[in-house]
């Protein structure tokens, strides 16, 4: 969203009536309301220079530049003369939302070189980019100059304003240059061998380097490896890449990719502290969770256990039950306890049963085998397992008639005002 520009221009008068008026000069330029930017940075954006001849058009132009930068939510100015010197005061409100700048695959430059190159063109750059205005384009232009100076045949791309609503950073990347990943390094790896991490990261060597996608990959694909062995506090640092200094067969012009890891300790399971549970006692919840005191706190097993707890509640009709978890780590004993706060929600009952796509005989057979009557406490587990259990014989008969596995689908649709769940059993054509 463009900043709101409110221009309050006051007339400028010089004192004295007998002597010829001296040419007006720009004296002090002051910015009131700055929080992140400095006076010098704001002045650089405006383009005004102390000592320049004063005219209102130049001040209006400066206000437009400040507005167009996207750095300000509101802006107004006033002018005041003393003799032939004119003081300009800008009253500003900086924009609340600015995203950190991320340089995705600039492997030819250090971070310091990138920032220095940007500040030659964008002196006010402080590591963030406003979500609107011309600043992002100015940064991109500065980055393109850096590429051109090194004769790198790439082009700069960045997000548009329309693409920013769901992003946490403002990503600048180089397109048009191949950057295959030739080698992978995981400094800090010990509890999990580097070879295992390289094997799990094979996808990274099958595409060009990207800092943002590598960081996401580490979180999604590599972190579960550590959680599985109880290293619940493992952390991957920001990945980095450098151009390979030696030729790698089949990987011309590639990069060496480094993903540092702080593995942390292996934790054992201590206990689960349940609160908010009314319909199921803690002992049953512990059984559904499936964790035993003293065993490795396998994060993947814990995730699976929490799904088991949700199924236990769904079995009793509490299909909207939610579990908020927090952890307490005992660093001396390397143990972890989970505090699990349950919000059970209302209990649902069975609504209407709809059967689609089956023959009349199969439909009748399914209705006969269906065990949940309208008004019964809803059982999500029963619905989920119906075609594998109570309705299996009907599905098996279709399989024999078609000589192919039938594709069945079960859909449950909650009716919150009525606290009922309508179920649809469907056979795909």
Q: What's the rounded Cα separation, in Å, for the pair 86 and 176?
A: 50
Contact between 254 and 264 (Cβ < 8 Å): no
DSSP string, 243-305: E-SS--TT-TT-EEEE--EE--PPPEEEEEEEES-SSS-HHHHHHHHT--TTSB--HHHHHHH
Q: What's the rounded Cα separation, in Å, for the pair 147 and 153?
A: 7
**What pLDDT is recorded for position 332?**
96
Q: At what angle do helices 299-315 and 282-289 cross, to 10 degrees?
A: 130
Q: What share of the chain is helix, strand, coil (3-state, %, to 5)?
A: 30, 30, 40
**What pLDDT is recorded for position 6?**
43
pLDDT per residue of the chain (429 residues) written in tens, 0 to 9 = 444 444 444 444 444 455 556 788 898 999 999 988 889 889 988 989 988 899 888 999 999 888 888 888 889 999 988 888 999 999 998 887 778 899 999 999 999 999 999 999 988 888 888 877 788 899 999 999 999 999 999 999 987 655 655 667 889 999 999 999 999 999 999 999 999 999 999 999 999 999 999 999 999 999 999 999 999 999 999 999 999 876 666 677 799 999 999 999 999 999 999 999 999 999 999 999 999 999 999 999 999 999 999 999 999 999 999 999 999 999 999 999 999 999 999 999 999 999 999 999 999 999 999 999 999 999 999 999 999 999 999 999 999 888 888 999 999 999 999 999 999 999 987
Q: What's the rounded Cα separation, in Å, for the pair 284 and 315?
A: 13
Q: Provide the strand spans (E) within 48-187.
A: 72-82, 85-94, 98-103, 128-130, 155-158, 170-175, 181-185
- For the chain, state the CA radius of gyration: 33
Count how many Cα atoms sit within 13 Å of the Cα of residue 82 in the half-sphere of its side chain.
4
**What pLDDT is recorded for position 10?**
43
**What pLDDT is recorded for position 5?**
46
Q: Phi and psi for 276 in degrees, rounded to 5?
A: 85, -5
**What pLDDT is recorded for position 7?**
44
Q: What's the rounded Cα separation, in Å, for the pair 348 and 314?
A: 9
Handedness of CA 247, 250, 254, 259 (dihedral sign): negative
Global pTM value: 0.78
Close Cβ partners of 167 (under 8 Å, ≥ 6 residues apart): 99, 159
Q: What's the rounded Cα separation, in Å, for the pair 201 and 412?
A: 38
Q: What's the rounded Cα separation, in Å, for the pair 150 and 113?
A: 12
The token pair at 306 is 């929490």
**What pLDDT is recorded for position 373?**
96
The token pair at 262 is 């702080």
| Beta carbons within 10 angstroms of residue 380's beta carbon | 21
**What pLDDT is recorded for position 164?**
57
Report which DSSP code applies to 377.
Answer: B
Q: What's the rounded Cα separation, in Å, for the pair 163 and 78?
A: 36
Q: What's the rounded Cα separation, in Å, for the pair 385 and 360?
A: 22
**What pLDDT is recorded for position 247?**
64
Q: What's the rounded Cα separation, in Å, for the pair 429 and 408?
A: 10
Q: What's the rounded Cα separation, in Å, for the pair 306 and 300?
A: 10
**What pLDDT is recorded for position 3?**
42
Contact between 234 and 223 (Cβ < 8 Å): yes
Close Cβ partners of 100 (under 8 Å, ≥ 6 residues apart): 127, 128, 129, 168, 169, 170
Q: Which residue has the tokens 């980055």?
A: 143
């Amino acid at each position: 969203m463009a900043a709101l520009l409110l221009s309050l221009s006051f007339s400028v008068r010089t004192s004295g009536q007998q002597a010829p008026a001296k040419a007006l000069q720009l004296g002090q330029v002051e910015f009131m309301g700055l929080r992140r930017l400095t006076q010098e940075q704001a002045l650089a954006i405006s383009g005004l220079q102390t000592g320049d001849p004063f005219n209102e058009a130049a001040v209006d132009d400066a206000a437009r530049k400040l507005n167009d930068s996207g750095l300000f939510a509101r802006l107004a100015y006033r002018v005041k003369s003393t003799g032939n010197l004119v003081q300009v005061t800008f009253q500003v409100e900086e924009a609340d939302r600015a995203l950190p700048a991320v340089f995705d695959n600039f492997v030819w430059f250090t971070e310091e070189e990138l920032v220095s190159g940007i500040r030659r063109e964008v002196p006010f750059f402080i590591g963030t980019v406003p979500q609107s205005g011309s600043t992002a384009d100015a940064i991109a232009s500065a980055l393109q100059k850096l590429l051109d100076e090194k004769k790198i045949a790439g082009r700069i791309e960045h997000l548009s304003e329309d693409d920013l609503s769901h992003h946490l950073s403002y990503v600048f990347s180089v397109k048009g240059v191949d950057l295959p990943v030739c080698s992978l390094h995981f400094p800090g790896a010990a509890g999990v061998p580097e070879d295992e991490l390289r094997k799990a990261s094979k996808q990274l060597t099958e595409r060009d380097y990207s800092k943002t996608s590598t960081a996401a990959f580490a979180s999604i694909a590599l972190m579960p490896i550590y959680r599985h062995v109880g290293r619940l506090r493992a952390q991957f640092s920001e990945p980095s890449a450098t151009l390979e200094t030696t030729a790698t067969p089949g990987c011309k012009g590639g990069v060496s990719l480094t993903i540092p890891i702080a593995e942390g300790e292996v934790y054992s399971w201590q206990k689960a502290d349940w609160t908010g549970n009314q319909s199921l006692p803690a002992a049953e919840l512990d059984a559904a969770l499936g964790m035993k005191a003293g065993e490795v706190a396998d994060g993947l097993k814990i995730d699976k256990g929490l799904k088991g707890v949700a199924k236990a509640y769904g079995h009793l009709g509490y299909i909207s039950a939610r579990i908020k978890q927090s952890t307490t780590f005992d660093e001396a004993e390397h143990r972890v306890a989970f505090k699990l706060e349950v919000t059970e929600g209302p209990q649902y009952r069975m609504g209407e049963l709809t059967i689609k796509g089956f023959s009349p005989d199969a439909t009748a057979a399914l209705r006969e085998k269906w065990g949940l009557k309208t008004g019964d406490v809803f059982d999500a587990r029963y619905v989920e397992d119906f075609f594998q259990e109570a309705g299996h014989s009907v599905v098996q008969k279709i399989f024999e008639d078609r000589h192919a596995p039938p594709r069945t689908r079960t859909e449950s649709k909650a009716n919150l005002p009525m606290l009922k769940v309508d179920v649809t059993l469907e056979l795909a054509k």
